Amino acid sequence: MSTKSVVNRELADRAMDKAQKKIVPFILLMYVMAFLDRANVGFAKNALQMDTGLSDAAFALGAGIFFLGYAIFEVPSNIIMHHVGARMWLARIMITWGIIAAGFAWTTTEHRFWSCVFFWGLPKQDFSLG
């Protein structure tokens, strides 16, 4: 093995160690939050329907609207993330996600539910794991 190959291997090993210590825990945390977030909507479905009078069809349409917003803004969001940096963009996503999720507290009609669900899908486009 040449000296250059050994140096490259050591550099790659240090990079992987750094990624495992700093990036992987953060991504795992975001994945768990995304899972809990989606599971909570399923748990809250019955209570939400009783409180707002949402039908099953309106709730299902909300799921479609969620993915519509997600799909429309996925590419632009990744372009912006490339320009501003992942650290700042992922922090923005987490904050926006929390604010919009809290906005569901004021959901009283189908239209408010659909608008919340649409905007709820927007910050999630960078979570390819979730």
One-letter amino acid at 63 equals A
In a domain, 72, yes or no: yes
Asked if residue 130 has pLDDT above 50, the reply is no
In a domain, 8, yes or no: no
In a domain, 10, yes or no: no
Q: Which domain holds residue 88?
A: 25-126
In a domain, 16, yes or no: no
Quick check: pTM over 0.85? no
Split into its structural domains, the chain has a count of: 1
Query: Which of residues 19 and 124 earns the better pLDDT score?
Result: 19
Question: pLDDT digits over 36-64, tens only?
Answer: 776 777 777 888 888 888 888 998 898 88
Give the per-residue pLDDT at 123: 63
